């Protein structure tokens, strides 16, 4: 039997190892599936804090690849499941892209949708024909803003997932707090949804 040196996945990195040739296809297949699985609204994922602890978050919306993720205030282990978000409070809520999820840095541990109606969906201010309008997170509704809405709503901003990860670490005492992290707090989703009547 011929042996071949390949990369064996271990926490997102690869290490050289010699394995029997007939196992190469199986290992490659498993590795590709773990990183290429299609994301779904409701997916619960882990955000690494250190070698043993993780923050826990959920994919709460997806508009053509613009992801809406929420991060809970809980610290969990690598063995966490979607049930671990029960009783947790929202810390952050932000629009982002899929890099950390697609590459497996944020490990998806399961999916649940029963709690999604309870997650606030943010609204944003947009300019339309020289006037301020408000727009739902999923762009399903756009209408002229009242003066109160125009004053209280932010423009739509998509942030890099690494900023969300750094904010999560800082929230749990690992790293410096950056003033930009304040814009990620879930308060805005709650307040804008209330302001827009959503």
Cα–Cα dist 79/74, whole Å = 14
- Domain boundary assignment for the chain: 3-35, 38-195
Closest Cα to residue 81, out of 116, 46, 117, 38?
A: 46
- Give residue-wise pLDDT tens across range 102-159: 999 999 999 999 999 999 999 999 999 999 999 999 999 999 999 999 999 999 999 9
Torsion of CA 50, 53, 59, 60, to 10 degrees: -120
User: Is residue 8's pLDDT more than 70?
Assistant: no
Q: According to the model, what pLDDT value does residue 37 have? A: 66
Predicted confidence band at 189 (pLDDT cuts at 50, 70, 90)? very high
Region 6-21: mean pLDDT is 38
Q: Which two tokens stand for residue 91?
A: 């810390």
Alpha-carbon separation of residue 95 from 29, 62, 129, 159 (angstroms):
31, 9, 25, 6
Please give the average per-residue pLDDT across 14-31, as a whole number: 39
Predicted confidence band of residue 197 (pLDDT cuts 50, 70, 90): confident
Q: Exposed (0-12), middle (13-18) or buried (19+): which is 30, by Cβ within 10 Å?
A: exposed
* Residue 90 scores a pLDDT above 60: yes
The pLDDT of residue 51: 86
Residue 194 clears pLDDT 60, i.e. is over it: yes
More confident residue, 121 or 32: 121
Residue 29: predicted pLDDT: 35
Q: Which residues of 115-148 are buried (b: 16+ CB within 10 A; e: fewer)?
A: eeeebbbbbbbbeeeeebbbbbbeeeeeeebeee
pLDDT of residue 161: 98
Q: What is the DSSP letter of 173?
A: T
* pLDDT, average across residues 46-65: 96
């Amino acid at each position: 039997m011929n042996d071949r040196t390949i990369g064996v996945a271990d926490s997102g990195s690869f290490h050289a190892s010699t394995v029997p040739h007939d196992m190469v296809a199986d290992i490659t297949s498993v590795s590709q599936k773990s990183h290429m699985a299609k994301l779904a609204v409701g997916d619960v994922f882990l955000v690494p804090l250190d070698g043993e602890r993780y923050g826990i978050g959920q994919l709460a919306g997806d508009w053509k690849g613009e992801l809406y993720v929420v991060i809970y205030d809980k610290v969990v282990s690598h063995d966490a499941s979607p049930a671990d978000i029960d009783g947790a409070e929202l810390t952050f809520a932000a629009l982002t892209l899929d890099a950390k999820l697609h590459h497996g840095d944020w490990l998806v541990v399961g999916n649940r949708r029963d709690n999604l109606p309870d997650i606030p969906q943010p609204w944003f201010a947009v300019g339309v024909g020289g006037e301020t309008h408000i727009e739902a997170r999923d762009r399903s509704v756009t209408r002229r803003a009242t003066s109160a809405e125009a004053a209280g709503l932010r423009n739509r901003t998509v942030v890099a997932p690494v900023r969300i990860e750094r904010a999560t670490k800082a929230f749990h005492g690992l790293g410096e707090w950056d003033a930009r992290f304040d814009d990620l707090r879930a308060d805005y989703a709650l307040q804008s949804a209330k302001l827009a009547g959503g």
